[in-house]
Structure formats: structure tokens, C-alpha cells
């Protein structure tokens, strides 16, 4: 095709048509990616149903998880278990026993920042309900300016005092 022989309007029409084709193809690619992800999720669920751990009763899995969660950094270990798969996440989130393991170490220092920390603490306390929990409250001599105040932490802890 000799580009010099084409009119400006004809070239613009070809540009518009090519851009429309690119948009259409991009849309198809995105749709195929979504379909592939859906199929992968389905495949994962099906495999989980035939592997031995997929047939294990939830109550037994909770007991196994509790044995896997050691006294050092129990919340971190429970969070790791919840990231294995969506089924384990549902089991972990719905198992107060796993969230009540160990001591909740509340430290008001430079590592714990404001509302985000309080939201996490409130989530932990909520997931451990109605079980009793142990809480250790420590304040640094030089807390970070953005660290939550003792008052705000106590507001989060007080509803769980009876436990």
C-alpha cells in the first residue's frame, strides 16, 4: 500500500479502525483472563476436595492448627495459616480458639502506629470471643508520637475485660 496516495481522511479512518480493533482485542483478552482465573479457582476447589486434607473435618483441622501455632508470635502464625487457601482462611477466621492462643502483647511504642494498630487489636479481640485471653500491656518510656494512647487502647480492651 502506497501511503503517499492515501487521503488524510482515509488514513484517519484506518487509524480509528485499528484503535477500535485494539480496544476490542484488549477487552477480549481481559475477559479471557477473568475466565481463566475462574477456571483456576474451580480447579483448586476440585483438587482440594480429593486430596486428604480436603476431606479432613473442620474440627480436626482446628485442632491441628492449634498444635501448629506455637507460643512465639501466635497471631503471626495464625495469619500465615489463613493465607494458605480460602478454605483455611474461613476456618481460621471462624475459630476463636486459634485467636486466643498465647498472650496478646500490647506495646505502646514506635512500632505500633495509631488507628491501624487499634483496628488490628480490635479484630484480634473480636475473633477470639468468647474465649478468655491474656493481655500484656506495656508502655515504652519514649513512645512514638503516632503511637496510640493508653486511653485509646483501653477503650478497645475494656469490652473484653470480663473474658
Q: Give residue-wise pLDDT tens across range 97-131.
A: 999 988 888 877 655 555 678 888 899 999 999 99
Determine phi and psi for 69, rounding to 5 degrees.
-85, 110
Task: Please state, for a pLDDT cut of 90, what percent of the chain lies above it.
Answer: 50
Find how far residue 26's CA is from the centre of its chain: 29
The answer to whether residues 119 and 95 belong to one domain is yes
The percent of the chain in helix, strand and coil, each rounded to the nearest 5, is 65, 5, 25
The answer to whether residues 68 and 114 belong to one domain is yes
Enclosing domain of residue 150: 57-160
Which residues lie across from 139 on neighbouring strands? 108
Q: Is the bond preceding 137 in cis, omega lying within 30 degrees of 0?
A: no
In this model, does residue 4 exceed pLDDT 90?
no
Angle 69-104-101 from CA coordinates, rounded to 5°:
30
Angle 141-143-147 from CA coordinates, rounded to 5°:
150
The answer to whether residues 101 and 146 belong to one domain is yes
Residue with the bigger pLDDT between 69 and 49: it is 69
The answer to whether residues 35 and 70 belong to one domain is no
Provide CB contacts within 8 A for 133, sequence distance 6+. Answer: 99, 100, 104, 125, 160, 163
Amino acid at each position: 500500500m502506497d501511503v503517499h496516495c492515501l487521503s488524510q481522511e482515509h488514513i484517519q479512518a484506518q487509524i480509528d479502525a485499528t484503535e477500535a480493533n485494539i480496544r476490542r482485542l484488549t477487552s477480549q483478552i481481559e475477559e479471557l483472563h477473568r475466565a481463566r482465573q475462574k477456571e483456576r479457582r474451580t480447579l483448586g476447589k476440585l483438587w482440594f476436595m480429593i486430596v486428604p486434607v480436603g476431606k479432613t473435618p473442620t474440627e480436626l483441622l482446628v485442632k491441628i492448627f492449634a498444635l501448629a501455632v506455637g507460643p512465639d508470635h501466635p497471631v503471626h502464625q495464625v495469619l500465615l495459616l489463613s493465607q494458605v487457601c480460602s478454605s483455611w482462611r474461613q476456618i481460621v477466621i471462624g475459630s476463636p480458639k486459634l485467636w486466643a492462643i498465647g498472650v496478646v502483647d500490647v506495646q505502646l511504642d514506635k512500632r505500633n502506629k495509631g488507628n491501624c494498630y487499634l483496628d488490628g487489636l480490635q479484630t484480634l479481640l473480636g475473633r477470639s470471643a468468647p474465649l478468655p485471653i491474656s493481655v500484656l500491656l506495656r508502655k515504652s518510656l519514649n513512645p512514638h508520637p503516632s503511637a496510640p494512647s493508653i486511653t485509646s487502647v483501653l477503650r478497645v480492651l475494656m469490652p473484653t475485660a470480663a473474658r
